[in-house]
Chain A
Amino acid sequence: MSEVSYSTQTKTVEFPQYTWSLMRWSFVIGLIPVLALIIALAINSFYLLQYVHVLCGGTWTGFDLFMGLVMTRIMRNLDITARVEVAKRLTPTTFFIMPSLASVTIAAGIYVAQKMGIFDLNSPWIIAAGIVVLILSGQGFGVFMPNGLRIFIELSKPKPNVEKIAKLNMQNIRLAGSQAFFQVVLILIMAHLAVLGPY
């Protein structure tokens, strides 16, 4: 039996119950990076701040590389029903985790640069990092989040358009691959800033 049940008389749909538990899980995991950042700053530990920045950035990049290099191949070999089943679980699970990792990585990176005294807005390397961060943020706010919301909305309809759900999910997975590319470029810039400074 389908996990989405319909009532044609009342025009309502039973939203998959696991959506709630996956979203709760995503929220709890999404709280960890931001709480770790608060602790690092509250106890004024540069070591912990660096750790939070590198760990969150590495996890964010790793996740996007996995989505871009592995999940796209897996999804291509699934039929549309299976793709939708993946989308119904992947969207709520990543809903808070990815924005939290991204925002904490960026915020912690700025704090690290400020504490190291290299946050110089005239530096071409800092400007380059800022441009890449703006691209990543634009993709996140402009595509990832709206697509996730559209998947939720589609699932809430009495007759969800499964092709639309699969298409939106594939867009997000492919975009994660492009995010991974920009993150690899960003890590190159970070390596220069850490080793050679802002010029």
Chain B
Amino acid sequence: MNTGALIAILAFFAVLLAIFGSIYFSASKAAKNGEISPKGLRILQLGLIGHITILLLLLITAFLT
């Protein structure tokens, strides 16, 4: 296992979740108030899932070196 790579990818993960999460949180509040379309919120959800999938795959590489 490559500890350095693991820490670096987890740090990327944390930053991504913090930034994406804060924007998603404000968007979900706006969706509840009817300010934005539920489909727009769905796009953000799929975007988050997609980024998490790519980062999880990248995380696997830390265990291959």
Contact = CB atoms under 8 A, between A and B. Distances in A.
A41 interface: yes
Contacts of B10: none
Majority DSSP secondary structure for residues of A touching B: helix
B55 A103 contact: yes
Interface string B5-19: 100110010011001
Contacts of B8: 107, 110
Contact of A111 (B20, B54, B61): B61
Contacts of A38: 57, 60-61, 64
A31 interface: yes
A30 to B, nearest CB: 6
Interface string B32-45: 00111111110110
> Which residue, of B2, B8, B39, has the highest number of chain A Cβ atoms within 10 A?
B39
A156 B23 contact: no
Task: Tell me if B's interface is mostly helix, strand, loop or mixed.
Answer: helix
Q: How large is the interface on A (under 10, 10 to 19, 20 to 34, 35 or more residues)?
A: 35 or more
Given A15-B40, A103-B58, A152 B47 contact: yes
Interface string A155-187: 111100000000000000000000000000000
Interface in A87-121: 92, 95-96, 99-100, 103-104, 107, 110-111, 114
Interface stretch (A57-65, A67-75, A143-151, A191-199): A143-151
Interface in A1-39: 11-15, 19-20, 23, 27, 30-31, 34-35, 37-38
Contact of A19 (B12, B43, B51): B43
B48 to A, nearest CB: 9
Contacts of A19: 43
A156 B25 CA distance: 15
A128 interface: no
A152 B43 contact: yes
Which 5 A/B pairs are nearest by Cβ-Cβ distance? Answer: A156-B40, A41-B64, A156-B36, A15-B39, A156-B37
Interface of B: 2, 4-5, 8-9, 12, 15-16, 19-20, 23-24, 27, 30-31, 34-41, 43-44, 46-47, 50-51, 53-55, 57-58, 60-61, 64-65
6 contacts: A31-B57, A34-B54, A96-B54, A99-B51, A103-B12, A155-B40
